[in-house]
Structure formats: structure tokens, C-alpha cells
Amino acid sequence: MTVILIFISICIAGVIAIPFLSPKLKGIVTLFAIVMNSAISGYFAFLSLTGHEVCLSLQGSYITGDIPVRIDALSGWFILIVNFVFISGGWYGMFYMNAYRYHREKISLHAISFLLLHTSLVTLLSVQNSLVFLIAWEIMMFSAFICVIFDHEKESTLKAGINYLIQSHISVVFLVTGFLWVAFKTGSYDFQSITTFSLSQKGTGALFLFILFFIGFAIKAGFVPFHTWLPYAHPAAPAHISGIMSGILIKCGIYGILRMLLVIKADFTSIGYMILIFSVISGLYGVMLAIIQHDLKKLLAYHSVENIGIIGIGIGIGCIGIGTGNHIIATLGFAGALLHTLNHALFKSLLFYTAGMVYQATHTLNIEHLGGLIKKMPKTAILFTVAAIAISGIPPFNGFISEFIIYTGLYQSLQDASLGSLTVILFTILGLVLIGGLALLCFTKAVGIVFLGNPRKEFDHDIKEGPVAQFIPLYAITVLMLFIGVFPGIFTNLLKEPIALFTGIPAASVSSFHGQIPEALQPVSRAMLAFLAIIAVVYLIRKRAMHKPTVSMDATWECGYGAPTPKLQYTASSFVRAYSKLNKPTLMYSRKEKEVIGIFPKDGHFESHAYDKLEKWLVDKPIFAIRSFMKRFHFLQNGSLQSYILYGVIFIIAVIFIPLLVEKISSFIEFLKHL
Amino acid sequence: MLSFILILLAAFFFTGVINRTKSILSGRKGPGIFQPVKDVLRLFKKGAVYSKTTSFIFQIAPTIYFSSVVMAMLVVPFGQSKGIISFNGDFIFFAYALALGKFFSIIAALDTGSSFEGMGASREALYSMFAEPAFFILLGSLALLTGKTSFHEIFADFHLGSSISYALAVLSAFVLGMITMIENSRMPIDDPKTHLELTMVHEVMILDNSGFDLGLILSAGLLKFSIYGALIVNLFIGIFPYQYTIPMFFAIQILAAVIIGTIESFMARFRMSHNAQFIFALTSVSLLIFFGVLMVLGKFI
């Protein structure tokens, strides 16, 4: 009880203090408050992961009823991820915001909303009362909105922010409908009442309730086709906010889906297949669009859609496992999903932070304008490359481990499946493999074009690395990534409790399959070590061998042509041209070109923009239709005060007279009937 | 351990046999079958020229590429004897370890800032992406058939099925063979002997490599051939005792090399724009194997 009070009062104290401090102190105080709150919530989260579920009941008001604060293992896992990313993001953000230190009010607002974002996130992960959950959800969304529109002078930023706000509220509509439905039927806002409700409903009712929640949370998580807000909001925000949004905020959607799986008792097999299909489409569509982006942050944002897809595949297999009563598959699926949640939070935040470094140094994120940054920013380049390898799911980093677990789950579930489910699983494997291959294509492009080769554009200013202290959280993330990659057993051990929640078998009773994941990963861990050892040995041999002979430097081979300009380099678009030609039916390109004609050509130009086909059909077209319908009533809004007063008068008259009229008519009908 | 030694031995002559076949079929005398190995050894002793555009990525990439191939080699079993590293799902590790090498060779090509090498890198990334589904579905079908999920167990159990499993083995050998050609940048995907940078895939990516690094890349290429050859061999040897399987191993490897040489002598490379479709069509052959497995298991009815 007192702990919760302390938790909230730290946040409130921070919010009150921040406006009165100097810009530097604002950052420090925000970070300090977040560290304090993380320590408190992290302690309970860790307890819950070791098997001691924390359960407090907060006396609520007349409306909400008692508020249960239950930090079970699932909340614990997510709280730890939130805390880690927030501390690293806050640290990084302090330096990132240094460039804006003269905008005091903006920084105050930003710091306050950053702090509120953390508090509301931890709150919504730990309360199990739907009304309080929704309030925390709203606070989270608004504070995230304010964080995103930090650069609100730019029209595009504001537009992206509002787009995010609107779409998030569409998700709230679904959630409110779901929660109110349950509350209306059972009279309680406690999450446990959802369980009793779903049990009473049997079959379709429970399934429908789950679909309602799934759509609500899927908008937040960014499953295709609900992903359209994501590629706008992430690039518009400052780098640390993009990292946190992509790393954590969209994971709230995942948390919500997982929580609903725990409380709703429905037909898990069909839910599993539904999630699986959504996820494979999200994964493929996300990466397919990511490849053709020119904006580095937008590219990363589409990759979030892809990774949500991978997490979803894990959840889908887990559900199928529960539905068919196969605990090994259930364990593998949920373990893969939960571990990938952590992994994605790590490498995606690292990618966004390094992209932020690039932006700070060059003031552009257009891939086609960059190049050769590795020579001026070696640390950033290495960190970006590491994160790129990890996100492509390549050993020896963490991305491989979670994908490996999901693959194992998929191959396991092939064994005793019927023909229909076999086909679904087979295409899921196909999808996952293609996602991996496409991610490789996309990230070789990102690393190769942005950091390697020659600079494609001359900048007027110096390009240099950020301050050393800014790199500390980035190194911490990298170390953690390698650590998960090489010693995954430690982390999968922590996952025992959360998984036990889903499979319904207590983790304490070590049954045959519980030890399976850590044991199964033992040889993987050894293989990873062997891999690193081989690389080291070959490197040392090479170093020795290269010691003696002469090594010289010269120009790149260009078929004997000695004076190539940087413009001759392969560009990002040309690198993926073969791919985009193949995928023409699914992608959308708008291009403007003026061809070079004649012997003495004057000028020519070429411009191409990628657009989201689903967005066009599902968002733009309907909105356009609504707009053109609404335009018919445009004459009403003519701007003259007199007519507005007239509308008011008409309205008042109508309000008074229509009931009277209705009464008269009904009495007249009565009269007629009597005749 | 046995597989490791055998693959290493096969690597010594595999590429040489291909070259020899090609030279005989075109009426030349040709170099000896150990010439590729001698080339590599000579390169190991040479100095190097690096492009001024490149960074350290370009220098470590060949090391990582070679290591990834060695790592993949450790996973491959031989008949009843396990690979040095063997665990459930090791074929996933096999494919992803090779992907690390590919990742580095692609970004190293982009590091040179040459448009030719960028072109090669782009093609390599695309082709390897399309080749992977075939491999995973093939292994998935075999895993479904045998109920096991590691290379060693899959291959050890594979032959125990009915005679239809040998039919499946032939199809699988075809898929694996085609993947070999793609992975090693051979006909009909890529022509290693072409003289024009514009039409190369793999060769153009390593234009700027020299000395020890080039030696590493070439020896990784030699190893890759025999690794995939060993996988093909594994489809057939099953429980036979070693006195039969070891000669069989070399016989099949040489046969594969001769076939590759023959194909390369009588065939032209596909048009670049048709490659992707061709590679993706392999996936459908894999699917055919999958349905074959379903029939064997009687899941169709």
C-alpha cells in the first residue's frame, strides 16, 4: 500500500519539480525519478519472476470498486523490459535533447510526459481493474503523443502525432466496448470477472470478446492491417522516443493480447490460427515495405511491424499448443514470443538510438544522401551493424535465439498435426524463412548504404560522433544482446514462471518438458561459443599471415576507370531494384521522371516514392469517400455569424417543438384508433 | 568428427574435378585436379591491396565468411556418426550461420563503393533469400517424415521408411543440388568464368579482395561444395557400415562434381531477370517432397 503511494508520489514530485529546473537538471531529475520507480517496480517484478506473485488490493472509489494490483510473472517480465529501455532511453535522451536546450518550455513538457509515460506504463502493466487500466492506457497514449510531437513546429510531425492519437483512440473504442460488455454483465471491473464471464458464455461469445480485445490491442501493437499509424509516428518522434515507442509501447499491445489470453477462456486452437495468420501477414508485409523505404527511421518502423509479426507467430503456436493440449509446443511458442519481445526491445531501441546519432551528426535521415559514415562515426557504425545482425536473426546475437525457439516450436507442431493445420504451419515456416531473408536484404542495404562506401553528399558541417557518455546505454544494450545470444539459458530460466501461467502447470514441479528449453538451448550456447572461437582463431591466423607481406592501398577497381565519383556508387534504390521489380504487384511506387533526350540534353530528373497499398485502400479511400459525402453539407459552414445564430435558433425551436409535435401526432393517432 | 575429415578431404578435389571435367569436355588438357587448392595456398602467402574507400568491415568480412562456412561444416553429420556439434534444430543453425557470412560478404561488397560490387551484392542478397525457403521446407518435410529435428537423427532415420523414401531422397538430392549451385554461384544461376563484370554475381563481389582474404573466400567456396555434397550423400547412406559408406561418399562427391562440370559445359547461364523465379520454383519442388511425405504418412486421407 505504502509502496504504491511512494511510487505515485515520486512521479508527482518529479512532475511538479521539472518546470522549475534548468534544462540540464530537468533531464537528470527525470532520469532519477525513473530509476527510483524502476527500482521499486523492478523489485516486485523480479520477485514475481522467481515465483512470488505480488498481490495487493488498493481500496478504490465507489465507481471502480477495489483495485487489485497484481504483479504476476507476465507483468513482471514486461515491467523489467520497460524499466531497462526507459533507463537507457532516458540516459540517451538527455544527451539527444542537449541540442534543444534553449527551448526550455518544450523540454519541460517533454520531460514531464516522459516521466508520466513510464509511470502509466508500469501502472497499466500491474493493475487488473479494467477501469483503472483504461485510465492508465489513456495517460500513456496522451503522454506518448506529447513526446512524439516534440518538434511540433513541423507540420509533418504534428500530422503524424494526430494520426497516432486518432488511431489509438479507435483502439480504445474496441477496448471500452469489450470491458464495458463484461462489466455490464457481471457488475465488476476486476479482470477475474472476464474469466467468469467468458466461462459463462461458452464458445462464440468468448471468442467474440477475444476478437474485440484482439483488434483493440492489435492496433496498438501494429499488426497489419492496423499498422498505418506506426510508420508516421516513429520517424516524427525524437530518437529516444522512437526507440521507446518501438521497443515498448507497441509491446503493450502484445501484453494486452497475452493478458486476454490468460483471462479469457475460449477456443484456443481457433484463436491460435487466427493470430498465426495475422502474424505471418504482418511479418511479411512489414519487411516487404521496409525494404523500399528511403527514410532510415521509417524503414525501422516498418521493421517493428515485421517483428510484431514474429512475436505473434510465437503466440499463435503457443495458443495452438494449449488448444491441442501439447505442452511442449505451448511452452516453445510462448517462450519464443516473450523472449523475442525482450530481444526486439533491445535491438530496435539500439537501432533507433544509432539512427538518432546519425541524424544528430548529419541532420538527415534520407538514406540516399548518406554514405561512408563509418570513417567519421566508427562507434555508431559498429553498434548499428551489430543491431542489424541481431534483428536479422543471425547468430551469435539474441535475435537468433528467439527465432530458433519459434522455429523449433513450428517444427515440433508439424509432428502431430492434421492436414489443414499442417498447411498453415508449413506456410508459417515459409513466411518466417522469407522474413529472415528479406530482413537480411533490408539491413545489408541499411548498413551498406548509410555507413559504408563513399559519402554521397557533401555536408557543410563537421560530422562527428556524439559525446562518449551518450554511448554508455548503447554499449549496455549491446552487451546484453550478445549475452542473450551466447548464454540464453539464463533468460529462458526467468521465463519459466510466465510460461507456467499459460500452460497452467506450476513451474515449481519440474516436469519433463519444463527443463526442456534451457536444456535444448545448452548446445546452441556451446555452438555460439564455438562460432566466436572459430572467428577469433581465423582472425588471429590472418593477422599473423598478413604480418609479413606488403599491404598497400589503392583505388577501388572500376574496370580500369580511375576517377569514379561517389555518385557512381550503387544507391539504396538500385540495391533493391531487382526485388521491387519482382514485387511490383504488392508494392506501390509513385515516380516522377524527366528523361534525358537528345545529343545535348538539358536536364533530367528522377524521383520515386514508396507508398503503402493497404493504407491507400483501407485508410485513404474510405476517408476520401466520407469526406466527399460530407462535402455536400459544406454550404452550412459558410462563415457568417448570422446564419450560425439562425442554426441555433432553429435548433432550439426544434428541441422545444418536436416533442410537442410528436405528442400531438401520437394523441391524434390515438384519437383515430378510438374512432 | 568423421564428417569433418571427409568434407575436408572432398574439398581438396571437388572443384578440381569440376574444372577437369569442363576442360576434357571442351577438348583441353586442363589443370590438375588439385590446382584450386594450390591457388589458395599461393594466395595465402601473398600481400594484399586494399581500396582506399574501404573500412575495417572489408577486412574482417572474409574472416567471418570463412568462419561461418567452417561452423556450418561442424554441424553436418555422416551417416551414423554425428557432426561435431549436433542438437535439435541444428539445421536452422546451419542456415543461419551461413547467413552471417553472407551478411558480411554483402556489406563488404558495398564497402568498396563500386557500383559493380553493389550490383553483385544486390543479386546475392536476393538469390539467397529465395533459396532459403526450399531448404527449410525440405528439411521440414524430412523432419515430419522421421519425427526428428536434428541433421544426424533425420538422416539416420530416413532410410528406415519404405522404398518410397528413396524416391523422396532423389527429389531431395535434386533440391539440395540446386541449392548447391545457387550457394556456390554456379550455372545456371551464375557463370564463374564470365569476363564481364556486369554479368557476374559472386565473382564481382570479391573483385577488390586480394591476398590472404581472397584465399579465405576461395577456400570457403571449396568447402561449401563438399558440405552440400556431404548433405546429399547423407540422404542415401543411412545405416550402411562405414566400409561401404566412405567409398560411397567419395564416389557420390566425384559424381556430383562431374555432373556439375558437364552441366556447365553444355549450358548457358539464365537471364539475370529469370533467376529469381527459377530459384523460387525450387520451393515448389520442396513442396512436392512435402506432399510426398504426407502421402507416406497417410495424412492425405
Mutation choice for A interface testing from B52, B60, B87 by most A CBs within 10 A: B87
pLDDT of residue B300: 66
Q: Do residues B206 and B221 make contact, with C-beta atoms less than 8 angstroms apart?
A: no
Q: What's the grid cell of residue B294?
A: 504426407
pLDDT of residue B162: 62
Question: Which among A309, A308, A296 has a CA at the least distance from the CA of A250?
Answer: A308
CA atoms of B152 and B35, how far apart (whole Å): 33
| Contact between A437 and B294 using a beta-carbon 8 Å cutoff | no
Mutation choice for A interface testing from B43, B44, B56, B67 by most A CBs within 10 A: B67
pLDDT of residue A513: 44
Question: Which among A126, A94, A352 has a CA at the least distance from the CA of A244?
Answer: A352
pLDDT of residue B281: 83
Tell me the chain B residues in contact with residue A530 when contact means C-beta distances shorter than 8 Å.
Answer: 71, 74, 85
Residue B97 in contact with partner chain A when CB distance is under 8 A: yes
CA atoms of A445 and A465, how far apart (whole Å): 22
| Contact between B128 and A545 using a beta-carbon 8 Å cutoff | no
Q: What's the grid cell of residue A209?
A: 470478446
The length of chain A, given as a count of residues: 675
pLDDT of residue B130: 85
Mutation choice for A interface testing from B114, B153, B208 by most A CBs within 10 A: B114
CA distance A452 to chain B (A): 5
Tell me the chain B residues in contact with residue A569 when contact means C-beta distances shorter than 8 Å.
Answer: 113-115, 118
Could you count the other beta carbons within 10 Å of the beta carbon of residue B267? 11
For residue A97, the 8-state DSSP code is G
Within 8 A by CB and 6+ apart from A23, the residues are A97, A101, A104, A107
* Residue from the list A539, A569, A577 with its beta carbon closest to the beta carbon of B113: A569
Q: Do residues B168 and B290 make contact, with C-beta atoms less than 8 angstroms apart?
A: no
pLDDT of residue A510: 41
For residue A558, the 8-state DSSP code is S
**What angle do helix axes A496-503 and A250-263 make, rounded to 10 degrees?**
40
Q: What's the grid cell of residue B144?
A: 515430419
pLDDT in tens, chain B (301 residues): 788 888 888 888 888 999 899 999 989 888 888 998 999 999 988 888 888 888 889 999 999 999 999 999 999 988 778 888 888 888 899 999 999 999 999 999 999 888 888 888 888 888 888 888 899 999 888 888 888 888 888 888 776 656 777 788 888 888 998 888 888 888 777 777 777 777 778 888 888 888 889 999 999 989 998 899 888 888 888 777 888 888 888 998 899 899 888 988 888 888 877 888 888 888 888 888 888 888 887 776 5
* Residue from the list B90, B97, B136 with its beta carbon closest to the beta carbon of A429: B136
What is the DSSP annotation of A164-190? HHHHHHHHHHHHHHHHHHHHHHHS--B
Mutation choice for B interface testing from A535, A576, A584 by most B CBs within 10 A: A535
For residue A301, the 8-state DSSP code is H
CA distance B243 to chain A (A): 30
Q: Burial of B278 by CB count in 10 Å (0-12 exposed, 13-18 middle, 19+ buried)?
A: middle
Q: Burial of A588 by CB count in 10 Å (0-12 exposed, 13-18 middle, 19+ buried)?
A: middle
Express the helix, strand and coil content of chain A in percent, nearest 5 each.
75, 5, 20
A55 membership: H or E segment, kind and range: strand A54-58
Within 8 A by CB and 6+ apart from B42, the residues are none
Amino acid identity, position A261: L
Cell 497489419 found at = A224
By DSSP bridging, strand A551-554 and strand B48-51 are parallel
| Contact between A551 and B143 using a beta-carbon 8 Å cutoff | no
Mean pLDDT by 10 residues, chain A (675 residues): 86 90 88 93 89 78 78 91 94 89 88 93 90 92 92 89 92 92 86 86 83 92 88 90 91 93 87 92 92 90 93 93 85 91 94 93 88 89 94 90 90 79 88 92 92 86 86 93 89 85 63 55 85 91 82 79 77 85 80 82 80 86 91 86 92 92 91 87
Q: Do residues A437 and B132 make contact, with C-beta atoms less than 8 angstroms apart?
A: yes
* Residue from the list B118, B132, B208 with its beta carbon closest to the beta carbon of A557: B208
CA atoms of B226 and B7, how far apart (whole Å): 6
Tell me the chain A residues in contact with residue B137 when contact means C-beta distances shorter than 8 Å.
Answer: 426, 429-430
B 36-95 → A contacts, CB under 8 A: 44-55, 57, 60, 62-64, 66-68, 70-71, 74-75, 85-90, 92-93
Within 8 A by CB and 6+ apart from A667, the residues are none
